[in-house]
Amino acid sequence: MATLFIVATPIGNLKDISLRALEVLKEVDLILCEDTRVTQKLLNRYGIKTPTLSYHQHSKLKKIDYILDLLKQGKNLALVSDAGTPGISDPGNKLINKIAEFAGVEPLQIKIVPIPGPSAVTTAASISGFPMDRFLFLGFPPAKKKRKRFFEELSRQLAELKCPVIFYESPYRILKTLNELNSLYTKYNIQNTDIVVCRELTKKFETIYRGKIEKVIKEIEKDKIKGEFVVIVEGKH
């Protein structure tokens, strides 16, 4: 029986890898990577010699078919992303969905096994201080098309759902994003909403910004804008 392991890897600090993840990465026949160069740094750190194969958002259908053929041959594979948990705002879901069609089906009996671990979403949520019994995760905002609609929808959901909203943003657009969001606060009567912005989580220059959005914008403007960001907007009470 072949197994596809969905392996969570560190979002920054390489020490956050789990013992189980290291064990799996050492024992599988092949590791499927979003970027083999990024994954190789982790493998080198822990002396893992398992071969790698790239699988990312631009991979064609024939790459998925090739991976499926390996599983049909009885090969055990691991799927990792550059950082965090595969399938969460990540192209791995397409592969997992395809393989799932054959999971448990005779005579192949392919298994899909999660190896849990780091995730930027839950890491940021854990330090937000907001009620997190439920929240809405929206991934990355559109870079160009549908961007205005995205923030309109986000603001409406904040006002209606009354739960925190979490999304990712790049250093190149974080200020633009926060300013766009701020401009919609009055329209949806959520001016008093608090926000938490996390930068470089688990890394040397990890920074957490808290407070009203105008305050957070001013603080970020003073700093060097680099690294990935996680934004959590408090739900309206």
Asked whether 168 and 140 are in contact (CB, 8 A), the reply is yes
Instruction: State the pairing for strand pair 111-115/207-212.
Output: unpaired
Looking at 76, 97, 118, the residue that finishes a domain is 118
Same domain, 150 and 50: no
pLDDT number for residue 211:
96
29 and 66, same domain (yes or no)? yes
Instruction: Pinpoint the alpha helices (H) of the chain.
Output: 19-27, 36-45, 61-72, 92-100, 120-126, 147-161, 174-185, 213-222
Predicted pLDDT at 108: 66
Residues 207 and 147 placed together within one structural domain of the fold: yes
Residues 113 and 29 in one domain: yes
User: Which domain CATH number covers 178?
Assistant: 3.30.950.10
**Do 7 and 93 have their domain in common?**
yes
pTM (2 d.p.):
0.90
The per-residue pLDDT for 107 is: 66
- Write phi, then psi, for 226 (nearest 5 degrees): -150, 160
Predicted local distance difference test score (pLDDT) of residue 160: 79
pLDDT truncated to tens, each residue of the chain (237 aa)?
Answer: 899 999 999 999 999 999 999 999 999 999 999 999 999 999 999 999 999 999 877 667 788 899 999 999 999 999 999 999 998 887 788 889 888 887 766 666 799 999 999 999 999 999 999 999 999 999 999 877 788 888 888 887 777 777 899 999 999 999 999 998 888 877 777 778 899 999 999 999 999 999 999 999 999 999 988 889 999 999 766
What is the structure's pLDDT at 117?
96
Domain, as residue range, for 173:
121-233
Is there a contact between 57 and 104 (Cβ–Cβ < 8 Å)? Answer: no
DSSP string, 179-225: HHHHHHHTTTT-TT-EEEEEESTTSTT-EEEEEEHHHHHHHHHHS--
**118, 137, 156 - which closes a domain:** 118
Same domain, 27 and 125: no
Q: Using the 3D structure, point to which of 82, 97, 118 is the last residue of a domain.
A: 118
Helix (H, G, I), strand (E, B) or coil at 159: helix
CATH number of the domain residue 57 falls in: 3.40.1010.10
Q: Are residues 130 and 229 in the same domain?
A: yes
Q: Count of domains in the chain?
A: 2
Q: Sheet harboring 194-199: ordered strands across?
A: 136-137, 165-169, 229-233, 194-199, 207-212
**CA within 13 Å, CB half, 38:** 16
Same domain, 100 and 133: no
Domain match, 175 and 218 both = yes
What is the separation, in whole angstroms, between the first and last Cα of the chain? 50
